[in-house]
């Protein structure tokens, strides 16, 4: 079992650009959550997907959007990137227990 995988591992973008991050959940998990972790902070909940629908959302602007595919994999899209979007983006999949991927480190210049 590969666990939760995320791609890419690192990404550099410039302000105003758009980015798409990808996540494959742990085998058997149908729920995917996305978190943003700024340097020195705990993860902040962005949103959660279940059965291809957004089920919960945290306090993030509409520039943050997502998608879940029939195979339960998920994408996080961020439009009009700001310097403050620089962070580690974590994906977590859950059945009874939540497992995190290694994250994608995004740097916005």
Partner 1 sequence: TQLLEQSPQFLSIQEGENLTVYCNSSSVFSSLQWYRQEPGEGPVLLVTVVTGGEVKKLKRLTFQFGDARKDSSLHITAAQPGDTGLYLCAGDEYSSASKIIFGSGTRLSIRP
Residues 56-85 as x/- pattern, contact with partner 1 by CB under 8 A: x-xx--------------------------
Residue 17 Cβ vs partner 1, minimum distance, rounded to whole Å? 24
State how far Cα 6 lies from the chain centre.
Answer: 9
Would you say 11 and 76 are in contact if contact means Cβ atoms under 8 Å apart?
Answer: no
Question: CA-to-CA distance for 108 and 38, rounded, in angstroms?
Answer: 12
Which residue's CB is nearer to partner 1, number 16 or number 102? 102
User: Which of residues 59 and 71 has its CB atom nearest to partner 1 in the complex?
Assistant: 59
Q: Report if residue 92 touches partner 1, rule: CB under 8 A.
A: yes
Q: How many residues does the chain have?
A: 109
Residues of span 27-56 touching partner 1 by CB under 8 A: 31, 33, 35, 40-45, 48, 55-56
Residues whose CB is less than 8 angstroms from the CB of residue 68 and which lie 6 or more positions away in sequence, other chains included: 32, 49, 50, 51, 52, 53, 74
3-class secondary structure, 52: coil
Q: Which residues bind partner 1 (CB under 8 A)?
A: 4, 31, 33, 35, 40-45, 48, 55-56, 58-59, 90, 92, 94, 97-103
């Amino acid at each position: 079992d590969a666990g939760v995988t995320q791609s890419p591992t690192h990404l550099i973008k410039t302000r105003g650009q758009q980015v798409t991050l990808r996540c494959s959940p742990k085998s058997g998990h149908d729920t995917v959550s996305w978190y943003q972790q700024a340097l020195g902070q705990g993860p902040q909940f962005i949103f959660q997907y279940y059965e291809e629908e957004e089920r919960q959302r945290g306090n993030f602007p509409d520039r943050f959007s997502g998608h879940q595919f029939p195979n339960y994999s998920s994408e996080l899209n961020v439009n009009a990137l700001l310097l403050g979007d620089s962070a580690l983006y974590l994906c977590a999949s859950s059945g009874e227990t939540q497992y995190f991927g290694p994250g994608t480190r995004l740097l916005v210049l």
